[in-house]
Amino acid sequence: MAKATAPRRLKVIREFEAGISPSCAGRMVISGRMADVCAELDRMSQRETAQAQAA
């Protein structure tokens, strides 16, 4: 029987610095499976594009 594995999690950590605009991403660490990290980067890119078009 195959052993069940715990689901892997995607972790996104963002650090903001004083005096920097909230629209700036600041420093960011994204960890997890490569496919999940790439999917998160795609979502972030799509969100940024949508916000730029709405402005």
pLDDT bin (cut points 50, 70, 90) of residue 3 is low
- Tokens representing residue 35 in the block: 């496919």
With respect to residue 52, please indicate whether it lies within any of the assigned structural domains.
yes
Q: Is the pLDDT of residue 1 over 60?
A: no
With respect to residue 38, please indicate whether it lies within any of the assigned structural domains.
yes
With respect to residue 5, please indicate whether it lies within any of the assigned structural domains.
no
Tell me the CA distances in angstroms from 18 to 10, 15, 21, 26, one per residue in order. Answer: 26, 10, 8, 10
With respect to residue 2, please indicate whether it lies within any of the assigned structural domains.
no
With respect to residue 36, please indicate whether it lies within any of the assigned structural domains.
yes
What are the residue ranges of helices labelled H in the chain?
34-54
Q: Is the pTM of this model over 0.75?
A: no
Mean pLDDT for all residues in the chain: 85
- Tokens representing residue 46 in the block: 């799509």
Instruction: State the average pLDDT over residues 27-35.
Output: 93
What is the extent of the structural domain holding 49? 30-55
With respect to residue 54, please indicate whether it lies within any of the assigned structural domains.
yes
With respect to residue 10, please indicate whether it lies within any of the assigned structural domains.
no
- What total of structural domains would you count in the chain? 1
With respect to residue 4, please indicate whether it lies within any of the assigned structural domains.
no
